[in-house]
Amino acid sequence: MRIGTTLTHYIIRNQREIEGASGTFTGLLNDICVACKKIAALVDKGALVNVLGSAESENVQGEEQKKLDVISNEIMIEALEHNGHIAALASEEMEGIHPMSAERRGRYLLLCDPLDGSSNIDVNVSVGTIFSILRAPDDTKAPTEADFLRPGVEQVAAGYCLYGPSTMMVLTTGNGVSMFTLDRDFGEFLLTRENVSIPDETREFAINASNRRFWDEPIQRYIEECLAGEEGPRGKNFNMRWVASMVAEVHRILTRGGVFMYPCDKRIRAQGKTGKLRLMYEANPMAMIVEQAGGAATTGMQRILEVDPDELHQRVPVILGSRKEVERVTAYHD
């Protein structure tokens, strides 16, 4: 039986296309793979291994941490700190960066949301790990938080692991988007789709409609037009989805198109924030993936990948997915 292309073989085969890649890059992706397989195993077992429920703690965002948030972050650190592929790790679950020791300092910086959508974990709905890879500066000096504050266009690679009905790794290294499905029989991610392409148009939008009364006018207008259906200005009926797990929403959009929106709104601004989703380890990696699949990703005002970060846990409005829909929503902001 032909096993098919494993993720590791795929990276080694494509390594020549990854500018400046070396075994370090392949090793880093392999470390991320191992971490995601460990997280997948725990997500799969859930209540059987007592990893559900609250960790009775808060993250730097002041949000309740689930046990699996904390465990997933620890798995990431453990998988990455011994192999010398990164200089430091940044995570939604840690206030500051986690620098590697001088003798183990590698050529890359890794940012991650170890378990995105974790509010779903206790109700058995899909969650995921999101990661973003930047080049480290000169690896003779200790990395600082400032080294991470690079616009999304400088990402070397981005990806996510979706813990859904099947566990899937989705990856871009700047040459298109590929999808891999975990074969648990022998613990390998196997290539199941290449050159993923998002349809330019869609009839499906994803937004948390319970926030409607807080939305700014451009979002109000766009959603009202969708809801008006074929009798309205769009001349077609729309469907709505909201999983409350960005990884699941992005995966659906990569698979069949759609537009995902988490705009800034009056409620968020009243809390002194600039959005709900985080730029460095949610919006940027997902924006790279979506653009590499032919879609678009903006804040409503600018391309997400061109936002100059001010701080590690910065939040931004996110509108991403089918190019023509994102362009329409963005145009309404002009």
- Which residues would be at the binding site for ligand P6P (CB under 6 A)? 116-117, 119, 208, 244-246, 262, 276-277
Q: How far is the CB of 296 from ligand P6P (least distance, A)?
A: 18
Of 65 and 245, which CB lies nearer to ligand P6P in the complex structure? 245
Q: How far is the CB of 262 from ligand P6P (least distance, A)?
A: 6
50/60 Cα distance (integer angstroms): 24
The size of the chain, in residues, is 334
The answer to whether 287 and 304 have CB atoms below 8 angstroms apart is: yes
Q: How far is the CB of 130 from ligand P6P (least distance, A)?
A: 9
| Residue number of the CB atom closest to ligand P6P | 246
Of 13 and 256, which CB lies nearer to ligand P6P in the complex structure? 256
Q: How far is the CB of 271 from ligand P6P (least distance, A)?
A: 12
Q: How far is the CB of 299 from ligand P6P (least distance, A)?
A: 15
Q: How far is the CB of 244 from ligand P6P (least distance, A)?
A: 4
Of 215 and 262, which CB lies nearer to ligand P6P in the complex structure? 262
Residues in Cβ contact with 299 at an 8 Å cutoff, skipping those fewer than 6 apart: 275, 307, 316, 317, 318, 319
Each residue of 291-317: b (16+ CB within 10 Å) or e?
bbbbbbbbbbeebbbebebeebbbbbb
Other Cβ atoms less than 10 A from the Cβ of 6: the count is: 17
The answer to whether 214 and 267 have CB atoms below 8 angstroms apart is: yes
Other Cβ atoms less than 10 A from the Cβ of 43: the count is: 26
For 308, phi then psi, to 5°, come to -85, 115
Of 84 and 321, which CB lies nearer to ligand P6P in the complex structure? 321
292/133 Cα distance (integer angstroms): 15
For 153, phi then psi, to 5°, come to -65, -15
Tokens of 16: 């020549």
Using alpha carbons, list the distances in angstroms from residue 319 to 107, 139, 287, 291, 323.
32, 35, 9, 12, 10
Of 305 and 320, which CB lies nearer to ligand P6P in the complex structure? 320
The answer to whether 134 and 113 have CB atoms below 8 angstroms apart is: no
Of 141 and 269, which CB lies nearer to ligand P6P in the complex structure? 269
Using alpha carbons, list the distances in angstroms from residue 159 to 11, 69, 171, 288, 334.
13, 18, 4, 9, 31
Q: How far is the CB of 131 from ligand P6P (least distance, A)?
A: 14
Q: How far is the CB of 114 from ligand P6P (least distance, A)?
A: 12
Of 188 and 282, which CB lies nearer to ligand P6P in the complex structure? 282
Q: How far is the CB of 175 from ligand P6P (least distance, A)?
A: 26
Strand partners, 320: 260, 297
Residues in Cβ contact with 138 at an 8 Å cutoff, skipping those fewer than 6 apart: none
